[in-house]
């Protein structure tokens, strides 16, 4: 019962405060109308002039007899004599990794029968011999030495052909 009285008193106090917060009276309406009339009597500020539209020169593209700029310009329709990746060749395990992520960790064998040991990012060590492929650029191993693996990668030349680029994977003595 006591809480009900406190709630009733708080509600009455809030309503009284709201009534006191209202400051306008019916007598204020003429002042408002006078203020609105004064504001309307002031001239409006001038507007900025519209920007002058530039006249553009028209251009007619009349190149029906020229080469289409969106067609393949340097395609080799005759089969080509240059190097090309062998799309029918089965990919080898080390071709799934970029060349810079592979580490040569050692060799097995002697003389011309050397086999390189290469560790891939998946922490598996693979045997690599000349003729194997490693890296993502069709890198064919040409030679295995005690301190390095030499290979030739095929990279696009930007004109629809392929270039051979020599690369080396060196033995990492720190591992």
Interval 113-166: pLDDT, tens: 889 999 999 999 999 999 999 998 899 999 999 899 999 999 888 877 888 999
What would the pLDDT profile of 24-70 be if each residue is shown by its tens digit?
566 677 888 888 888 889 888 888 998 898 888 888 877 777 877 77
* 3-class SS shares of the chain: helix, strand, coil, % to 5: 25, 25, 50
Please compute the mean of the pLDDT values over residues 65-94 and round it to a whole number: 72
Q: Residue 80 pLDDT more than 60?
A: no
Q: Residue 78 pLDDT more than 50?
A: no
Q: Which residues contact 164 (CB under 8 A, 6 or more apart)?
A: 83, 152, 153, 154
Residue 141: count of CB within 10 angstroms of its CB: 22
93-170 maps to CATH 2.30.30.830: yes
pLDDT of res. 132 = 93
Integer Cα distance of 126 and 104 in angstroms: 10
pLDDT of res. 16 = 63
- Between 87 and 16, name the one with better pLDDT: 87
- Between 62 and 98, name the one with better pLDDT: 98
SS (H, E, C) 44-102: CCCCCCCCCCCCCCCCCCCCCCCCCCCCCCCCCCCCCCCCCCCCCCCCCHHHHCCHHHC
Q: So where are the chain's domains?
A: 93-170
- Which tokens is 62 given? 């009349």
């Amino acid at each position: 019962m006591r809480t009900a009285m406190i709630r009733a008193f708080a509600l009455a106090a809030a309503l009284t405060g709201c009534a006191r917060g209202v400051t306008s009276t019916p007598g204020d309406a003429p002042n408002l109308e006078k203020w609105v009339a004064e504001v309307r009597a002031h001239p409006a500020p001038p507007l900025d002039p519209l920007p002058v539209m530039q006249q553009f020169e028209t251009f007619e593209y009349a190149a029906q007899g020229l080469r289409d700029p969106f067609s393949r310009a340097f395609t080799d329709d005759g089969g080509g004599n240059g190097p090309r990746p062998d799309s029918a060749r089965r990919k080898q395990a080390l071709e799934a990794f970029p060349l810079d992520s592979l580490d040569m960790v050692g060799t097995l064998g002697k003389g011309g029968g050397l086999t390189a040991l290469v560790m891939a990012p998946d922490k598996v060590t693979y045997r690599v011999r000349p003729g194997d492929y490693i890296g993502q650029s069709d890198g064919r191993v040409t030679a295995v030495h005690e301190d390095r693996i030499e290979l030739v990668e095929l990279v696009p030349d930007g004109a629809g052909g392929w270039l051979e680029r020599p690369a080396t994977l060196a033995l990492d003595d720190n591992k």
